[in-house]
Amino acid sequence: MNGSLPTAATPQTIEELMLQALAIEREAVARYEELADMMATHNNREVAELFRQMAGYERHHVEHILAEMGWAEDMVTPRQGGMWTTPESPEAVPIEEMHYLMQPWHALQLALAAERRAQGFFAMLAAGARSEGVRRAAEQMRDEEAEHVALVESWLGRVQRPADDWALDPDPPRYID
């Protein structure tokens, strides 16, 4: 799993910070929903439900940002150069780390890494903030991500780590053109 944090330029205003936070949260919603659909396609309902729950938490963040800023639901959220330098936002689970036979433990590990990246990203923005308002807002977002980290860690405590041969499929999918 990729646990590295991108280098970020510090937003100068609350609006810049919230635009980027909105982009991050929207990408997290989309990715968690995509992962849930992928798991449902492979009849992995338990993991699909975990990802749907995570999408719901991220959707709540989107709604909160929109309401707090007085923005419309269809507000365009441009990615500003320098906020993060990776193709995906810090909170997006990399699609290439998915496996159709993954178990809840795997899904939770991916979600945990994403939430930790987001927490670290907002901590980095808070540390580099030049205004008190931006610093406080970034710290609040960092703390919200910390709550998600704690939630995912608690879920991890309730699932078993799979055996090393978890990916062996006695009847693998066959692709026929």
pLDDT at 88: 82
pLDDT of 46 above 70? yes
Mean of the per-residue pLDDT values of the chain: 85
Q: Which class is domain 14-76+87-156?
A: mainly alpha
Phi, psi of 42 (to 5 degrees): -95, 20
pLDDT of 82 above 60? no
pLDDT at 5: 40
Domain residue ranges of the chain, discontinuous segments joined by +: 14-76+87-156
pLDDT digits (tens, 9 = 90+) for 147-175: 999 989 998 898 889 888 887 887 777 77
Contacts of 166 (CB under 8 A, 6+ apart): 101, 102, 103, 106
Long-range contacts of 98-101 (CB under 8 A, 24+ apart): 98/35, 98/38, 99/167, 100/38, 100/39, 100/41, 100/42, 100/44, 100/173, 101/42, 101/44, 101/166, 101/167, 101/169
Length of the chain: 177
DSSP state of 73: T
Residue 132 tokens read as 């008190």
CA distances from 70 to 87, 103, 164 (A): 28, 40, 49
pLDDT digits (tens, 9 = 90+) for 15-45: 989 988 998 999 999 999 988 998 888 788 8
Taken in order 95, 92, 108, 112, the sign of the CA dihedral is positive
Given the structure tokens 């036979």, which residue do they identify?
Answer: 101
- For residue 85, the Cα-to-chain-centroid distance in whole angstroms is 16
Lowest mean per-residue pLDDT among 73-87, 90-104, 146-160: 73-87
pLDDT of 140 above 70? yes
